[in-house]
Chain A
Amino acid sequence: MTTSAETVGKKFNIDTVENAAKTPDTELPWAELGLKQNEFDEVVKVLGRRPTGAELAMYSVMWSEHCSYKSSKNHLRQFGEKVTEEMKKDMLVGIGENAGVTNLGDGWAVTFKIESHNSPSFVEPYQGAATGIGGIVRDIISMGARPVAVMDPLRFGAIDHPDTARVMHGAVAGIGGYGNSLGLPNIGGEMVFDSVYQGNPLVNALAVGVMRHEDIRLANASGKGNKVVLFGARTGGDGIGGASVLASESFDDTKPSKRPAVQVGDPFAEKVLIECCLELFKGSLVEGIQDLGAAGISCATSELASNGDGGMQVELTSVLLRDPTLTPGEILMSESQERMMAVVTPENIAAFEAVMDKWAVEYSWLGEVTDTGRLIITWEGEVIVDVDPRTVAHDGPVYDRPYSRPSWQDSVQADTFTGSVQDAGRPSTSGELAAAVTELIASPNMCSKAWITKQYDRYVGGNTAMAFPDDAGVVRVDEETGLGVALATDANGRYTYLDPYHGAQLALAEAYRNVATSGAVPMAVSDCLNFGSPEDPDVMWQLAEAIRGLSDACMELGVPVTGGNVSLYNQTGTVPIHPSPVVAVLGKLDDVARRTPSGWKEDGQAIYLLGTTAAELDGSEWSNLRGHLGGLPPKVDLSIERQLGEILINASRDGMIDAAHDLSEGGLAAALVESSLRYGVGARIALDELVERDGVDLFTALFSETQGRAIVSVPRSEEIRFKDMCTARGFAHLRIGVVDAASGKLEINGVDELSLDALSEAHEATLPKYFG
């Protein structure tokens, strides 16, 4: 403890509670710390006096948008309200804890959560993205789980903008550098390029962990006399005020560089922390545990105390420091990574210390749980914080922000692609259609993501049953039974811009479909809501509509939201990003050996298209390629999605299909190419019957993005059974072709022949061309 603050002594003029009471008129930097006048007035009202410097630091970070959800709380309630008893059945821990927990059966539980690290990843892409992984992984450990995989939905600016390469290289290297070093396979994610994200890239991170039911841990400090301990990395000056300064404000070129507010990650420390915590859980050595993320010690102490049954007393000079010059306020606000706080009974202190020593993890005992109902923080014995922890952690301001349907929404929705200037010269000849397919699959959003994914370890752990480029990532949980989970994340900012209510539902529909396509039964949802400034009524309307749409859809599909995160102020000046609700769906597979990959392999298998096709090109990737954004997104039909899911899951269980791929961005054209390129096995396709049945032209059949569709390959021996199942369920199905292993081609009637080599080259070349 050689550099603890203790050795520095009374270098600072410590602002004690006693002093604050005596000096009510002292000027405090509440505006610089991100508080508004009404919020500061509220702090004074709650305390009955002015806050001390340390208290001000705590309230300012905990009442920030990032930590308090003050603009979204009134709307987020719907996720808790629109829930049936049936949906609650498998939910072991719901929203509000570090991450929700879902029952997998056989005594297993799974926890997963998605979070944003957008602003730091723009300021310092490598560390921003790395610590995004670090933070979400600690959320998972805090629940008592062993983390088993990560995913990374990413959204960058235009692919050819010079700054995109900076962010892309940094973010991907950061996610890889941190995640690979933790031994967590990266099993999927997303990659979207759109100029709306130029100044606000979206770096979201998902982690999933598994545990036995008895190992579930919660963040609360209970039991008077139990000790409070801080362990892991030392506290330094990195990330001070990260949550309040970065995540709760728009970027503006006129302000000084915010680099110091970004945290710096140490994946080795985190890996050791994971193993160390799992050993603590195994020995039942902690009563409550909380990771330190946004708002650092302020958050951990106030949340642990307010979730517990009493109060807490902490001596701040006991915190181990990297930088001995930190003030009490800075120590409380620091967002230094790889730290955890736990509550330990006096009997377990020796055993706890033995685990710390084994893993060479530093720790310091900060104080204890009390029954006063107050969170008291002292500095060399003098009280510098004396608050009701609930007022810090839970009773922050809540805003009913004004919102209204934007004045431009009607004209945007009226501007459909078909017949627009951008639609001129729509491909129709066989040569034009072949060129269009190639152009589509080489385009920034539809090209191969291998440049990114080969920088991630997908093998570590030995339980990865499926990863990119398949529809969902699949991880085995139980090696004896093969029990496992499938995960997919999806969002479409363009759809959501056109119609936020349905756009958010489409994100859920796609993630749900992806999970079902892999053969898994969808069980739970985590969402990361990335939007612009809530102070803009247009953006607030997008947020309100998206939450209303998503919560309605979750109820209809019977999958509860178990946790997530809201990221606001994603805008440059007054221009917000497209509303981007990223939805993660988790599903269960009784035996991961039965998972369905996205590509076909066996010659002669029949290829079926499930679902019907309408002319839905608005918001599509094709319209994006032609520079058009208008009209209405594809229709949402959740009962169709549910039926399609049931067919895909049953077909997988009963061995009726060998491959399945959902139709989404890029429509049937993209799906046929991807399923062929997955294993380099071609196919012969005829869409005449589809064109006839659905009343669309060949171009529309290939490029429309109608939802509720998938393609599957069916072994000859299973064809009758498969058709009978679809017929019995009244679900549209059509044989559109056959797998051709020898040809090396994707042949589509009415489209010039596409060689798999040429398709593969076009598909793979795009990212290396821009990023080396």
Chain B
Amino acid sequence: MTELPLIGGAPVAVEPHLVGAKIGVVTFPGTLDDRDAARAVRLAGGTAVALWHADTELADVDAVVIPGGFSYGDYLRAGAISRFAPLMSKIIDAANSDAKLPVLGICNGFQILTESHLLPGSMIKNDHLKFLCRDQVLRVENNTTSWTSDYEADQEITVPLKNQDGQYIADDKTLDALEAEGRVVFRYVGWNPNGSRRDIAGISNAAGNVVGLMPHPEHAVEPGFGPESNDGTDGLGFFTSVLNKIVGGAQ
């Protein structure tokens, strides 16, 4: 047997000094990508901590990922019920506190962050009205947030996109403000897959510690299990960014 796998490149190198950084991954009833987000944290070198929506403490984590899925079935507005989970109050407080807890909301997590008013705007059904799963090219428009510092400015990355309610909307005033303050973190490159205003795929809060996006970086962290371009590991930078920030901050 030859040593290298036929598909995908070399395994991801784990940085031993990052292991001490703890990233909480929240599970609501109906969350689907929690195990994927935890795997992404591990592959980036950190320690994943499972958080339950009904928990009343944040378990001393250094950052939080709210993963994708259909929490409470999305039968109301996506994220509308999860926003009231006991743990969400803790996350909102910590994100707004001086410590500025880094929070990443992916897909349903992004929807929960807008419902929680940690991020402005809202998501409605894709303009073509169908669920869409594809490998999506994004441009990193702001590489100074807690979750994007390991990317180059204007770097183009490919991560999976998969959703039904992915069309980002906000009023023009809000959109203008987001643009002016550099809070549009990701934009769709090429075809706009869901009709999002101004091709926006992800945004941040003013401080840059809270980031939400519709595409799924946690599905692009391992060669052979993500998109076919660049070994499919373009999403790993989200997790190394925050881990380096945590470790750097602690030092």
Contacts and interface: CB of A to CB of B under 8 A. Distances in A.
B133 A459 contact: yes
Given A655-B2, A658-B6, A183 B131 contact: no
Contact of B30 (A177, A181, A462): A181
A176 B131 CA distance: 8
Interface string B1-21: 110011110000000000000
A457 interface: yes
Dominant SS among interface residues on chain B: loop
Interface size range of chain A in the complex: 35 or more
B73 interface: yes
Given A459-B219, A658-B6, A183 B134 contact: no
A460 B161 CA distance: 11
A462 B222 contact: yes
Interface stretch (A153-161, A509-517, A588-596): A588-596
A455 interface: yes
B198 interface: no
Contact of B6 (A173, A453, A454, A596): A596
Contacts of A658: 6
A424 to B, nearest CB: 42
Interface string B32-50: 1101100100000000000
B69 to A, nearest CB: 7
Contact of B216 (A456, A459, A654): A459
A454 B32 contact: no
B33 A183 contact: yes
Contacts of B39: 462, 479
Nearest to B54: A358
Contacts of A173: 130-131
Contacts, number: 101
Interface string B70-83: 10111100000000
Interface in A422-478: 453-465, 476
A181 B70 contact: yes
B66 to A, nearest CB: 15
Interface of A: 173, 176-177, 180-183, 266-269, 271-272, 359-360, 453-465, 476, 479, 591-597, 652-655, 658, 679
Given A457-B133, A461-B35, A462-B222, A267 B6 contact: no
Interface in B89-138: 130-134
Interface centre among A271, A464, A679 (most CB of B within 10 A): A271
Given A181-B30, A271-B32, A652-B6, 13 more contacts: A180-B70, A183-B33, A268-B29, A268-B72, A453-B133, A458-B133, A459-B216, A459-B219, A462-B36, A462-B221, A462-B225, A593-B8, A595-B7
Q: Which 9 A-B pairs have the closest CB atoms?
A: A268-B73, A183-B32, A593-B5, A462-B36, A459-B219, A655-B2, A181-B70, A459-B160, A457-B162
Nearest to A456: B133
Contacts of A266: 73
Interface of B: 1-2, 5-8, 29-30, 32-33, 35-36, 39, 69-70, 72-75, 130-134, 160, 162, 164, 216, 218-219, 221-222, 224-226, 228
Contacts of B132: 454-455
Given A183-B33, A268-B30, A271-B32, A455 B72 contact: no
Nearest to B42: A479
A267 B134 CA distance: 22
A463 B29 contact: no
Contact of B36 (A359, A460, A591, A679): A460
Nearest to A359: B29
Contacts of B133: 453-459
A592 B70 CA distance: 29
A464 B70 CA distance: 20
Nearest to B71: A268
Interface centre among B164, B218, B226 (most CB of A within 10 A): B164
Given A455-B132, A654-B1, A272 B29 contact: yes
Contact of B73 (A181, A459, A463, A592): A181
B32 A460 contact: yes
19 contacts: A173-B131, A180-B162, A181-B30, A267-B70, A268-B29, A268-B30, A268-B72, A268-B75, A269-B73, A360-B29, A454-B132, A455-B130, A459-B226, A465-B224, A479-B39, A593-B6, A595-B6, A596-B6, A679-B228
A767 to B, nearest CB: 12
B105 to A, nearest CB: 17
Nearest to A652: B6
Nearest to A180: B131
Contacts of B74: 181, 268
B131 A455 contact: yes
Contacts of A476: 225
